[in-house]
Homo-oligomer: A and B are copies of this chain.
Amino acid sequence: MTVDDDQLDRSFAALADPVRRAMIARLSRGPATVNELAEPFPITKQAVSRHIQVLEAAGLITRTRDGQRRPCHLVPAALEALTSWIDNYRLETERRFRRMEALLKENES
């Protein structure tokens, strides 16, 4: 999955909050409703509802309908898009470091 710049903005901003990261961790173990996600936190359900909207706008989760409930589901492909963005630059940097080391070793011999 490839993402545009706005999607990266929203995704990284979504992860830049401990409450939303804890929700991601919870959802990795299975779907959950607003009430279930709210349970561990000392904040109102309205606040939790908005955290969920942030995650959904980022594409990190989707929502289904189950009667009155609106269960949330993690979207692994969206997470994968972030890691591949980061890995791109990490790997490039590590390659450069290895080339530098090789050059140093060559010069000292």
Taken together, the copies of this chain in the complex come to: 2
User: Contact between A9 and B18 (Cβ–Cβ < 8 Å)?
Assistant: yes
A46 within 8 A of B: no
A56 shortest CB reach to chain B, Å: 16
A16-B13 in contact given A94-B76, A96-B29, A96-B30 (Cβ < 8 Å)? yes
Checking B80, B89, B97 against A24 with a beta-carbon cut-off of 8 angstroms, the contacting residue is: B89
Checking B5, B79, B87 against A89 with a beta-carbon cut-off of 8 angstroms, the contacting residue is: B79
Give the B-binding residues of A (Cβ under 8 A): 5, 8-9, 12-13, 15-18, 21, 24-25, 27-30, 74, 76, 79-80, 82-83, 86-90, 92-94, 96-97
